[in-house]
Each structure stands twice: as structure tokens, then as C-alpha cells.
Amino acid sequence: MQSLLDPVILFFILGAFGGLVKSDLRIPQAFYHTLSIYLLLSIGIKGGIELYHNDFNTIIIPAVSTVFLGGLITVVAFLILSKLGRFDKTNAVAIATHYGSVSAVTFAVVLNYLADRQVKYEQYVTVLLVMLEIPSIAVGIFLAKWNTSNKKMNYKALLHEIFLGKTILLLVGGLLIGVATAYTGNKQINFFFFDLFKGFLAIFMLEMGVIASQRFGDLKKVGPFLLGFGIIMPFISATLGIVVAMLIHLSVGGAIVLATMAASASYIAAPAAMKIALPNANPTYYLTASLGITFPFNIIFGIPIYYYIAHYLYQIFNII
């Protein structure tokens, strides 16, 4: 109940309700894109500042482990979709790639969730966010290569979209700017990017609620298996994330962040990459699953659940 009463969640629910009742509630697209740029830069800059104050050697193992985690989740999701769900290879790869990748907005929400509860976590988690964005797409491309219809895949355009797309460019750019501002001790942008973050995130979630609600109508098209997959797969991924966090000795807060990142599904970077790598894949499947099912589930219910699962496992194994 406390989670549901968080202003960020309430804004999302308001937007979803507005979309369902077909209200004209919408944020102007130009402002929506501005907010997305702001959020990605804020995450990157804060991560860069903290990265500057951390020993680089402490980040190597978590970063490598996160890359492995992203690839593992993609393979697990692909096997579930292809073997149990009987999806054809093209759509199984496309959907799995989305679930191996990460939602930066869900990441922002879990950081806000932990900040409200004063739970500390490793401040270099933004680096892990970047690390988790890429491997799933790489694994998806590898799986897609065995599809005879992809012989003429435009790898140049694909690599450009992966490494120079808006999400990666802003996150990495923000990291570098954060490192530079920490080095110079410049704090002039802190108020705008840090103190106002939650307010801008709440407004952004209003629009995300509207966008997510537009996918609810497609639920009957994707079938009961994909509906169940969109809810169960986040639990599997979150559990894998917590196990990895325990193995690399992250704090319980870090485990919650990694679990949430692992449980989230991309709806920005992955769709753009799949349009190039697998143009024959059905967008109704992967967009409805990631944005219409998993995203609202994680925002409203998933994050509090991962919070308690992480605390429970850490207590059982006497890590706390």
C-alpha cells in the first residue's frame, strides 16, 4: 500500500486511467522527449559523479557479471518462449532480446523507491545499467544470424543503433559529464538534475501510463502464454539478478537495483534494434509484452516484491 501511494506510481496510474477512458490527457511530444533526455542525463551524471569517487577495480567484476547476466536472461527467455510457448524462432528471439535488455525508466523508479526508504546501494549502478543494455541485443543478433531470412541484415545500421542510439549515448555522455563535474568540483547543475528529479520523473510517468494503457487492448492478441510470461519472467530474471548480486558481494540495496534491472524489459533500445535485425518479428508481441504487461507490473508490484525477496535471501544467507 505504501508503494502504491508513492506519487510516482500515482502519476502512472492516473495516466493509465486517462488512457483507458480515452481522455485527451497527453503530454506534448516535444516535452515528453525533453523529459526522457533529462532523466537519462540525470541518471548518467549522478552515476558519473559517484563513479569518480569509486575505485575502478571495484567496478570490473560487477560490470562483467552484469554483461553475463544480460546474456543469460536472453537465452533463458528464448528457451521458454520457443520450447514452452511454441513461438517461432524470429518472434522468440525478438521478445527474448527485450527481456534481456533493460528499462531505464524502471531503473529510475527503483532508485527513487530506495531513496524514499533510505536504502543505500552502490552508486556505480548506472555503469551496470549501460552494461545490461548491450549484451542481450548482441545475443539476440547471434541467435538471429541462424535465421536464413537475415542474410542481408544491415549490421552497420544495427551497430550504430546499439552504440549510438539515444539511450546509450545519453547515459554514457552523462557518465562522462558526471566524472568531469566531480573532478572539477562543479555543483552548479546539482539542483536541476538531482533535486528536481522526482518531480520530472512523476510527470514522465503520467505519460508512460497513457502509453502503456494503449497496449492493454492488444493483450487479447498476444494470448494467455505471453501474458503469463510477461509476469513470470520478471520473477525469474530478478532472482537471477539477486543471485549474481550475492555472488559478487553487492549490498542488499545493490541487489534490489540489479534485480529490478534484470526484471525490466526494454521498450526503447531493443525495439529499435529488432526493427533492423528482425524486421519480420511481430511488434505486437514484443511491445505489448514489455510495455503493456511487464512495465506496469514492475512499476506497481514488482519493485516492492523484489525488495522483500532480496532482503529475505540476504537474511537467509546471513549476508546482511
Mean pLDDT of the chain: 88
Quote the CA–CA distance of 102 and 37 in Å, as a whole number. Answer: 17
Task: Say if residue 154's pLDDT is above 70.
Answer: no
Q: Count CA atoms within 13 Å of residue 196 on its CB side.
A: 13
Q: What is the pLDDT of residue 156?
A: 75
Q: Give the model's confidence band at 161: pLDDT under 50 very low, under 70 low, under 90 confident, else very high.
A: low
The residue ranking higher by pLDDT, 277 or 37, is 37
Q: Give the model's confidence band at 277: pLDDT under 50 very low, under 70 low, under 90 confident, else very high.
A: confident
Q: What is the pLDDT of residue 127?
A: 87
> Each residue of 286-298: pLDDT tens digit?
999 999 999 999 9
Greatest mean pLDDT among 22-26, 191-195, 202-206, 253-257: 253-257
Residue range 306-316: mean pLDDT, rounded: 95
Quote the CA–CA distance of 112 and 118 in Å, as a whole number. Answer: 10
Are 98 and 266 spatial neighbours (Cβ–Cβ below 8 Å)?
A: yes
CATH number of 28-316: 1.20.1530.20
* pTM for the structure as a whole: 0.86
Are 208 and 224 spatial neighbours (Cβ–Cβ below 8 Å)?
A: no
Q: What is the pLDDT of residue 153?
A: 61
Q: What is the pLDDT of residue 312?
A: 94
Sequence-distant (6+) residues with CB within 8 A of 93 are 78, 140, 143, 144, 147, 278, 281
Q: What is the pLDDT of residue 148?
A: 45
> Each residue of 196-207: pLDDT tens digit?
988 999 999 899
> Each residue of 90-120: pLDDT tens digit?
899 999 999 999 998 999 999 999 999 999 9
Cβ neighbour number for residue 250 with a 10 Å cutoff: 25
The residues spanned by each domain of the chain are 28-316
Are 246 and 319 spatial neighbours (Cβ–Cβ below 8 Å)?
A: yes
> Each residue of 187-231: pLDDT tens digit?
888 889 988 988 999 999 899 889 889 888 888 888 899 999 999
The residue ranking higher by pLDDT, 287 or 148, is 287
Quote the CA–CA distance of 143 and 124 in Å, as a whole number. Answer: 31
> Each residue of 126-146: pLDDT tens digit?
889 888 877 887 887 777 766
Lowest mean pLDDT among 45-54, 72-81, 145-154, 185-194: 145-154
The residue ranking higher by pLDDT, 312 or 131, is 312
Residue range 158-186: mean pLDDT, rounded: 82
Q: What is the pLDDT of residue 78?
A: 95
